[in-house]
Amino acid sequence: MVNLVLFGPPGAGKGTQSEKLIRKYSFVHISTGDLFRWHTKNDTALGKRVKEIMNSGALVPDEITIAMLKEELDKNPQAKGFLFDGFPRTVAQAEALDQFMKNNGSAIHHVIALDVTEEELRARIAKRRTVENRPDDQEEKLNKRITEYFSKTIHVLPYYKKQGRLHTIHGIGAIDEIFDAICAHLDKKQKV
């Protein structure tokens, strides 16, 4: 079992690369952003709690996010491996994830960070806004999301770096080239 965290700021290409990775390696894909969007769309109790927070571009509190993640892990006991996309976004989430993995006799084997400049991110999200119409891609929400990334989420990187699990990949260029760089790293490190 190989578990991967795909890390990067909003607009770094995590969703696009995740789709390609799950096709190639049959990971169970866990995107906390997609899960929250499912809950808000279906107006569940959780959806009602997080809707305003998400629309503001802020992070959902750890307690709610970690509980939802745990539930998702428990639903997939037969998974060959997990790909975490958009989680962890705080050090507390990273610690909780390590603990869950450890409890299941497993671990996070790879953390791949997509490195993209802030300027490129803003340009990409402006483009995505016209295609997907996500309310949290509007300008002031976008500013908040980028601020949340650089004030909270970025601290997750040294957490993994210290443990020698972090691998950074240049996230600007052709989608397939970035994908090949990720696969080369995964294939070199360990058979998936």
Residue ranges that bind ligand AMP, judged by CB under 6 A: 10, 32-33, 36, 53-54, 57-60, 65, 86-87, 89, 93, 136, 145
| Residue number, 13 or 86, with CB nearest to ligand AMP | 86
Which one, of 115, 59, 124, 114, lies nearest residue 88 by Cα?
59
Q: Are the CB atoms for 39 and 47 separated by under 8 Å?
A: yes
Q: What is the 8-class DSSP label of residue 192?
A: -
From the candidates 37, 128, 152, 161, give the one annotated as an active-site residue: 128
Please confirm, yes or no, whether 165 is among the known catalytic residues: no
Q: Which is nearer to ligand AMP, 48 or 189 (CB)?
A: 48
Q: What angle do CA 23, 28, 30 make, to 5 degrees?
A: 115
49 is catalytic: no
Q: Packing angle between helix 139-151 and helix 45-56, nearest 10 degrees?
A: 90
Residue nearest to ligand AMP (CB): 33
- Is 14 assigned a catalytic role? yes
Helix, strand, coil percent values for the chain (each to nearest 5): 60, 10, 30
Concerning whether 122 is annotated as a catalytic residue, the answer is no
- Closest to ligand AMP by CB, 84 vs 179, is 84
Nearest alpha carbon to residue 55 among 24, 71, 33: 33
Residues 37, 49, 129, 134: which is the catalytic one?
134
Find the shortest distance in angstroms from Cβ 123 to ligand AMP: 17
What angle do helix axes 175-189 and 14-25 make, rounded to 10 degrees?
50
Q: Between residues 111 and 192, which has the closer beta carbon with respect to ligand AMP?
A: 111
Query: In the complex, what is the shortest distance from the CB of residue 42 to ligand AMP, in angstroms, rounded to a whole number?
Result: 15
Residue 145 is among the residues annotated as catalytic for this protein: yes
By annotation, the residues acting in catalysis are: 14, 89, 128, 134, 145
